[in-house]
């Protein structure tokens, strides 16, 4: 069993259309993720600490606070900047892709969503998140060991 299969991972879906969440939920059903749906970027920013997602699927076009602004706010916060974000949008131009990546997104999926592509991209982002978590854990252990050596 791989590290990705051992832990039940949390995927946060941020989209103003609940029907998109239902589609994503159906596409990721066999992956056994904890899926959470929020309808706006504002909701996500207020609940992200409670949810602690491993990956975020973020709609680009939303009213009030669009996906680009939501992405920028998440990535600019040190507590959340390590969470991989996959932009999900009906827009598919190279300019849209560039704007999403410039805002801090880690990947991009176009609507209509292809199930094989979505699952592969989420797994890819989970591998990156697991590597980040392992590095942080190793760094904490080294710091603790240095601190204990200093006290000895």
Summarised one tens digit per residue, pLDDT across range 16-69 is 999 999 999 999 999 989 999 999 999 999 999 999 999 999 999 999 999 999
In this structure, the number of other CB atoms found within 10 A of the CB of residue 21 comes to 19
CATH of region 3-151:
3.40.50.2300
Question: Looking at the whole model, is its pTM more than 0.85?
Answer: yes
Contact 88, 102 (CB under 8 A): no
Q: Give residue 120's pLDDT.
A: 96
The angle subtended at Cα 2 by Cα 107 and Cα 123, nearest 5°, is 15
Residue 109 predicted with pLDDT over 60: yes
Give tens-digit pLDDT for 68-104: 999 999 999 999 999 999 999 887 788 888 999 999 9
Rg (CA), the chain: 17
């Amino acid at each position: 069993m791989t590290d990705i299969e051992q832990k039940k991972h949390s995927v946060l879906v941020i989209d103003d259309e609940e029907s998109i969440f239902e589609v994503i939920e159906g596409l990721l059903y066999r992956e056994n993720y904890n899926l959470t749906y929020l309808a706006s970027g504002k909701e996500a920013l207020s609940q992200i600490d409670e949810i602690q997602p491993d990956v975020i699927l973020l709609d680009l076009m939303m009213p009030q606070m669009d996906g680009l602004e939501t992405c920028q706010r998440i990535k600019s916060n040190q507590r959340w900047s390590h969470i991989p974000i996959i932009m999900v949008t009906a827009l598919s131009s190279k300019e849209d892709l560039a704007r999403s990546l410039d805002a801090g997104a880690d990947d991009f999926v176009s609507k209509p969503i292809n199930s094989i592509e979505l699952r592969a991209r989420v797994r890819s982002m989970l591998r990156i998140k697991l590597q980040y978590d392992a590095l942080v854990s190793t760094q904490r252990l080294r710091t603790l060991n240095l601190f204990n050596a200093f006290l000895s």
